[in-house]
Amino acid sequence: MADWGPVFVAVVLFVLLTPGLIIQIPGKNRLAEFANMQTSGISIFIHSIIYFAVISILLLAVGVHKFNLFYSSMADWAPVVVGVLLFVLLSPGLLFELPGNHRVAEFGSMRTNGKAIFIHTLIFFAIFSVIIVALHLHIYTG
C-alpha cells in the first residue's frame, strides 16, 4: 500500500512556505513582508531551512503516515531530502516562473504570482509522488 502521508505534508508545506505567498523572510524592505509576491535567493534559503525543519519534525519525529501497516522503526530521510531539493528548485522565481507575469515563462525573475504557485505546486506534487510513491525511494538511517 502506498504511503501518501509524506506527499500530502510535502505539498502543503510547499504551498505554505513559498516565499511571497503568505510571508517573505527576509523581505525587500523589512525583516518580514506579507503577501508581496516577491522572492530572493536569501529568502528561498531561509524558507528552505524552515521547510527542512518542519518536514523533518512532521515526518521523522511525529511520523505522519497515511498507511503505516509495515512502518519501519528506521527513519526514512528520502521524503525530507527530495522535498527540500524540490522546494528549492521549484520555488517560483528562482530558476523559472511558469507562467510568468509578462511571458509564458520567465527565468530568474525573483517574482511570483498565484498562477505560478499553482503550476509549480502541481509540478512539485507530480515529481515528488513519482519519486517517493511510484519509485519507492527510501534513505534509511538507524
User: Along the 142 residues of the chain, how does pLDDT read in single tens digits?
Assistant: 677 889 999 999 999 999 999 999 999 899 999 999 999 999 999 999 999 999 999 988 887 665 544 555 567 889 999 999 999 999 999 999 999 988 999 999 999 999 999 999 999 999 999 999 898 888 887 6
Q: Between the CA atoms of 109, 115, 14 and 134, what dihedral angle is there, to the nearest 10 degrees? A: -110
With beta carbons less than 8 A apart as the criterion, state whether 64 and 58 touch.
yes
Q: Which residues contact 4 (CB under 8 A, 6 or more apart)?
A: 66, 67, 133
pTM of the model: 0.88
